[in-house]
Structure 1
Amino acid sequence: MPRTLITPIADEESRRLAVGVWEAARRASGNRPSPARTERVATKVATGVELGEVALLAHYGERAAGMLVAEPFQGDDGPDDSCGHLSMVFVDPALWGCGVAGALVRSLQRGDHGPGWTRLSVWTRETNRRAQRLYLARGFTDTGERATLHEGEVICRWEWRAGG
């Protein structure tokens, strides 16, 4: 079994690979991204680190396998420096089930390439059982918070606390 290596997204090549993983995962889930959406994701990945975000790329063996972007959490009272928010976690569909997403989240939880947040937050679609299994396995709990996206899908918020 190949080893999963997590590195910061720090150059043009790693940004290109991360966006390619994102595109493959979106297509596999039936959501073919528009060129405009792809450009917005590429810009977010490219500028995120400058804005205090964490952008990570996973390699599974020699292959780009997954990507994660997390940013400082913005609560009702403003930014919370102890908490990060996972805004993107995507894995190449050919490697679903190989532990790549878990390795990315675990790296963020340990603070390997970031600020060492003691809490993490994430919103995921209520129907996304794969993501919910990932977050449950990494120690996240469902907060009970729900919101509805513009297309009518319900999303739920999960949270992880260090030592919890």
Structure 2
Amino acid sequence: MPRTLISLIGDEESQRLAVELWRAARTATDRPPTAERVQRVASKVADRVGAGHVALLAHYGERPAGMLVAEPYAGDDGPDGAGGHLSMVFVDPALWGCGVAGALVRSLQRGDQGPGWTRLSVWTREANRRALRLYRARGFLATGETTTLHEGDVIVRLEWRAG
């Protein structure tokens, strides 16, 4: 089994690869993005990289395999220096089930490529069983918070705390 290697997304090529992985994953879940949406995500990735937020690219062997973007958590009381928020975690659909997403989240939890946050939060679709399994396996617990997206999907918030 190939090894999963995690690196920071920095240059334009790694940003392009991250967006392509996102597009492939969205398409595989029957939500192919429009060209406008792809451009918005490309801008978001570039903005987060430019702001010094955590943006990770995983390679499974030599193959680009997954991406993660996280930023400092900002709650009702403003930014929280000890916490981060995962805004994007996507894996090449051909590699689903190979542990790539788990390796990305684990790297963030350990602080390998980032600020060493002791708390992380994430929102995911309630129907996204794969994502829920990933986050639960990495120690995330449901907060009880939910909301509904404009297309009607319910999303749930999960949180992880170190130690």
TM-score by length of 1: 0.98
CA distance, structure 2, for counterparts of residue 155 and residue 52 of structure 1:
27
1:37 equivalent to 2:37? Answer yes
1:9-24 equivalence runs, <5 A: 9-24=9-24
CA RMSD across the alignment:
0.7
Partner of residue 76, structure 1: 76
TM-score relative to the length of structure 2: 0.98
Question: How far does residue 152 in structure 1 lie from its aligned partner after superposition?
Answer: 1.3
Q: 3-state DSSP class of the match of 2:115?
A: coil
1:50 Cα deviation after fit: 2.5
In terms of mean alpha carbon deviation, does 25-34 or 41-50 score higher? 41-50
- The residue that corresponds to 2:125 in the other structure is 125
Displaced runs of 4 or more, over 6 A = none
Q: Secondary structure at the match of 2:98?
A: coil
Match of 2:147 in 1: 147
Q: Using the TM superposition, name which of 77-86 and 93-102 deviates more.
A: 77-86
Q: Does the CA-based 8 Å contact 1:52-1:72 persist in structure 2?
A: no
Paired residue secondary structure (1:109): helix
Which digits, 9 at most, give the CA deviation of each residue in 1:55-111, with x for residues without a partner? 000000110000000011110111111110000000000000000000000000011
Structure-2 residue corresponding to 1:114: 114
Residue 126 of structure 1 contacts residue 154 of structure 1 at CA under 8 Å; is this kept in 2? yes
Number of residues paired by the alignment?
163
Percent of aligned pairs with the same amino acid: 75
Tell me how far apart the structure 2 counterparts of residues 162 and 49 of structure 1 sit (CA, whole Å).
Answer: 25
Task: Verify: 1:97 aligned to 2:97, yes or no.
Answer: yes
Q: Could you tell me how far 1:135 is from its partner in structure 2?
A: 0.3
1-side partners of 2:12 and 2:49: how far apart? 13
